[in-house]
Structure 1
């Protein structure tokens, strides 16, 4: 009898229970993957176009390799957590559908990953979730974040890298003048552009930090420490690169510094940063932890003492129904035509307001490329000998990934200006009042009084994050995602002029309120 039992056990595993489970799981994953193809193509394109995410294909291959190494878990499904799996699927379907409706590309990828996780949890319980989770946790680190978060992080890192590299240059005796992200060495001005912000190193280094943490059998807090070390090294090394570039400019000529700059901006500098990260992580490990190299999540021991549990029919049935219904729902949402309201072009925007005549201006080509505006107006309104009021109105007929207003709160410091005072005030507009941001900024002896706000479907919004929420809600409740950033600024000769400048700028703003609806629809 003992010689027959193993055969019966194998037949039970490879016959009824596991084969049906795996077959239905493969069918469900295939169905949602077919739906995901358009988004996968955009993600692949981002991996190829954006250097910050050029490590995406490598991380995807590692994720597949992890699945292969952990495949033994597929033979030991259980029923723990299957109901939670259905909940994860429902949440993923909602997030994915909302992302389609609101035109937000980034969260579609995260919704899809959550959907895959929910399917595995529903079909095989906690054991199947353990099988797929390490692979899925790698992939969010190669998904481009929302553009406004990316811009905020980029501007912040630009300024930090500029400040740190300038302090080092001064420490070694180099005479240097800093104007925001412009480093003036006298004979040459270096600009720390967005490409030099360090994101091209930060994102890959964080992803590789996660991967490195998976190689060792270590506590969760130490895995987080690895990620923190990788991020810190990426940021510091980017400042070192800018510092060395400036130093070479000081002791050589520009030709040599350009070659040096490009050499360390590429793979050589990145690999050096990665080696430093590995060294620092290695130092934090105990002797026993160092010996666990390769025994982290890369492989798992075969479960013993537990046979496969039968498939939970109700959760699996619900999951399959959701996947089947999800296909026509997502297809319908994808083919909904956005509503773009009729409006007048800024070409006809009045050049005379409150007796002030405007001198029209153009944004630099680089800024136009970054902002990707549908339409804009930039004019300097003058009267007599007083300082001009500059009005900028940037309009987006559809806000989506990469096409949203950039917050002045982030852009102002990158131009060398310091925010001395920032508050939200209310100004009358017809029978009501609307919130706007009032900012006092300075650079040396120069000072500016700035008003700005976001305007979406007739709603005036001061807070940047509330503007994103309003965009999400508008995409859910309507087919409109249009919006605009309005900014007015007035130079000040001294702080004593502030009360008069406030009165003048507030009066001009109320006239702008009256004119704007024809160009930024309510």
Structure 2
């Protein structure tokens, strides 16, 4: 027999709100490590410090809609369990592959869908924007860094040349008569872009009623900070050049950047305010437009119970996989000889060591045959987690602060070895000391991943393989393989690396399988 029903809207909302609080609390508890990772990034990174304000702003936006919301009848929406289950599965795969962006987006989506499941689609539509605004709390966007840096460098160099200043460019490094400059992560403008998009979206929601005007202003909030950052970078280099590098360098570089960005955004909001629209006055309260329905508490209880089961299952599965982790090993030793004529020799003073952090084991070895030399770096990872993982935005060939090497070109190359086609990433590195010199030292570099015997150069496939292998109980052993050789002037560097891999990959593969099997 069904439990009593409550025709009084206030009473129904008290019951629905209590159920929602329980479900949200369950999500925050079961996924607490994901939530704490988000907060840690907010506190650590200036790019995402604004995210501390997102939850309070979302709650305030809901409070503004309280009259309209309470005029609706809360009605459980069991169909929300389908996307809820999909997001829970997405979180599991993201956690197995240790991808912060995936787990944090999935957890935020679980919170939003929990609201829909408990109060229903009609009521949730009233607070659709506050719920969507929660996604600005997810610290994501740094994947845009390489492209934004490339665009900034291209515009800055073009603007300098149009200003009559000669420029020599090499990747993200460039030389003008007054000195050397480089576009680093802080110059990308990603901080300005994320901050502008967050504030601009909120401004558009509060000041415009037309969706068309809202989307236009959001688009402007994306375009303006990108263009402003290009102009900022150009003006900073120009000021440094005309002042003999006494203005707009060091700390002033960042201060001038934020001041310039602040002025641009203020002007953007002032212009947007001229087209602000007053809220339309409702003709009648929503409660009188349709007769209220009633809340069946047994239906609500079943929906909440089913949602709780769905959200509890992925953490339980993840917990069971922890018991299948392999033991760590202590050393990764390369052979003294590889294929015909390749012998190991001491590493040079400036031998390239890629910036792969917290590897379980590493090997950096130089092999030589007659006049040819190849440096091989193996970074081996086992029992990966958020602090120790193969694919990470922190793991790169060279950082912008590398004292020896700077990256000047990247690409991809289709090749074959081990009787199978393989795509590798390619890069060209130049000696930092030789920037602006035509005869500076250069390296040709290949990079790809080994995942339990599978080969790929794709970060996304590497993450997917890792998640599937862990889910199937096969462990997450994986490695990055980086080869480098002097570029030379004969254009045969890639051919040398290809020949080296065809002759020696079987030995490298055997070494990695030996480490995987613990023998």
- Counterpart of 1:6? none
Task: Give the deviation of 1:171 after TM superposition.
Answer: 1.5
Which of 74, 83, 103 is the equivalent residue of 2:78?
A: 83
Aligned residue number for residue 435 of structure 1 = 422
- In structure 2, the partner of 1:242 is 233
The reply on whether 1:349 has 2:349 as its aligned counterpart is: no
Unaligned residue ranges in structure 2 (runs of 5+)? 1-5, 401-405, 431-437
1:198 is matched with which residue?
189
Distance 1:302 1:364 in 2: 73
**Unmatched tracts of structure 1, length 5 or more:** 1-9
- Give matches, 1:101-250, under 5 Å: 101-145=96-140, 150-151=142-143, 153-250=144-241
Segment drifting more, 436-445 vs 122-131: 436-445
Residues of 2 paired with 1:52 and 1:314: CA distance? 46
| Contact preservation (8 Å) 1:437, 1:452 | yes
Structure 1: how far apart are the matches of 2:397 and 2:354?
A: 11
How far apart in 2 are the matches of 1:230 and 1:441? Answer: 35
Structure 1 residue 395 and structure 2 residue 380: aligned? yes
1:54 aligns with 2:44: no
Q: Distance in 1 between matches of 2:190 and 2:45?
A: 10
Cα 1:241/1:441, change in 2 over 3 Å: same
Alpha-carbon separation, structure 1, partners of 2:352 and 2:500: 31
How many angstroms apart in 2 are the aligned matches of 1:332 and 1:32?
Answer: 13
Whether 2:56 is the aligned partner of 1:71: answer no
Q: How many residues align?
A: 492
Match of 1:506 in 2: 502
Mark the CA change 1:463 to 1:45 in structure 2 (over 3 Å): closer, same or farther. closer
**Other structure's SS at 2:480 match:** strand
Q: Note if contact 2:90-2:103 (Cα within 8 Å) is conserved in structure 1.
A: yes
Is the alpha carbon distance of 1:195 and 1:14 closer, same or farther for their aligned partners in structure 2, counting shifts above 3 Å? same
Task: Find the residue that maps to 2:8 and give its secondary structure.
Answer: helix
Partners of 1:229 and 1:280 within 8 A in 2: no
Shift of 1:349: 2.2
Residue 291 of structure 1 and its aligned partner are, at CA, apart by 2.8
Alpha-carbon distance in structure 2 between the residues aligned to 1:365 and 1:440: 12
Whole-angstrom distance in 2 between the partners of 1:397 and 1:69:
50
Compared CA separation, residues 68 and 499, structure 1 to 2 (3 A)? closer
**CA RMSD, aligned part only?**
3.8
Tell me if the contact between 1:249 and 1:257 (Cα under 8 Å) persists in the aligned partners.
yes
Larger % of helix: which? 1
What is the CA deviation profile of residues 36-55 of structure 1, one whole-angstrom value per residue up to 9, with x for unaligned ones?
Answer: 44332221121111111011
Q: Provide the rounded CA distance (Å) in 2 between the counterparts of 1:374 and 1:276.
A: 51
SS of the equivalent of 1:360 reads coil
- Checking the alignment, whether the CA contact within 8 Å between 2:417 and 2:501 is kept in structure 1 is no
Q: How far 1:19 moved relative to its partner?
A: 3.1
CA 339–300 in structure 1, closer or farther in 2 if over 3 Å, else same: farther
Shift in alpha-carbon separation, 1:399–1:141, aligned structure 2, 3 A: farther
Q: Is the 8 A contact 2:328 2:382 kept in 1?
A: no
CA contact under 8 A between 1:25 and 1:120: conserved in structure 2? yes
Question: Judging changes above 3 Å, is the alpha-carbon distance between structure 1 residues 11 and 459 closer, same or farther for their aligned structure 2 residues?
Answer: closer
8 Å Cα contact 1:117-1:132 kept in structure 2: no
